[in-house]
Amino acid sequence: MTGKLILVRHGETEGNVGKILDTRLPGLPLTERGVAQAKSFGANLDTAPQRLFSSEALRARQTGGYIEEATGVGLEVLPGLEEVQLGELEGLNTRAAHETFQNVYHAWHFGDLAARVPGGESGLEVLDRYIPTLHRLRDEFLTTPGAPDVILVSHGAAMRLVSRELTGVPRLFAANNHLDNTETIELVPGPDGTWDCLRWGRYPAPFTGAIAPTGDDPMG
């Protein structure tokens, strides 16, 4: 079996605490709790990854930096892996703003990838900038049997959308089950360029729409 691509949501940020829609680079930093989460994640890895990557966002780079300290694996920052960009909703924390985004985000999970918030990205645009990098990481690092894992620190909403599209996780499950800070989605290469999902946050495969939804705070 090849190694896994482990997508890690960054640690808690000031934006998460304040329910702020924080998507534009560089973004807000980790809180003290977020730093502790990142340190704990790195310290609790059974084995060090062969490579460690993050998006360009400050919160992802900080989280990756603490994983680097714990594992000794150097962090590499990659473009195009930032959170879903929310245009006119950027910086807002109102109920109306969150509902507007969640309506669009759920539409993406059920196939309307052209939907967008005003001034923001469509689901298709997110997939187009994000997925090619995952395929490149697969081809460069995960094709050899027994290859160690690769870790990529990224963002909750983008991770969920991309993973659902790559693996065919049930739409209802993906739409209803968000990721807490430093939770993971674990992907493994399948045959002919496909991917399988082994873990989604607290849930191991197989995944079903019958699993009760978690409180949805998709951003990060």
Q: Tell me the per-residue pLDDT of 35-85, one tens digit each, with 9 for 90 and over.
A: 999 999 999 999 999 999 999 999 999 999 999 999 999 999 999 999 999
Kindly report the CATH number assigned to the domain that includes residue 136: 3.40.50.1240
Domain-located, residue 217: no
Among candidates 186, 189, 157, 188, which has minimal Cα distance to 174?
157
Domain-located, residue 161: yes
Q: What per-residue confidence (pLDDT) applies to 109?
A: 94
| Structure confidence at residue 215 as a pLDDT band (50, 70, 90) | low
Domain-located, residue 38: yes
Domain-located, residue 220: no
Q: Which amino acid belongs to residue 164?
A: R
Domain containing residue 111: 5-204
Number of domains forming the structure of the chain: 1
Domain-located, residue 209: no
Q: Tell me the per-residue pLDDT of 8-40, one tens digit each, with 9 for 90 and over.
A: 999 999 999 999 999 999 999 999 999 999 999
- Number of alpha carbons in the 13 Å side-chain half-sphere of residue 95: 0
Strands (DSSP E) found in 58-213? 75-77, 150-154, 184-189, 195-200, 203-204
Domain-located, residue 212: no
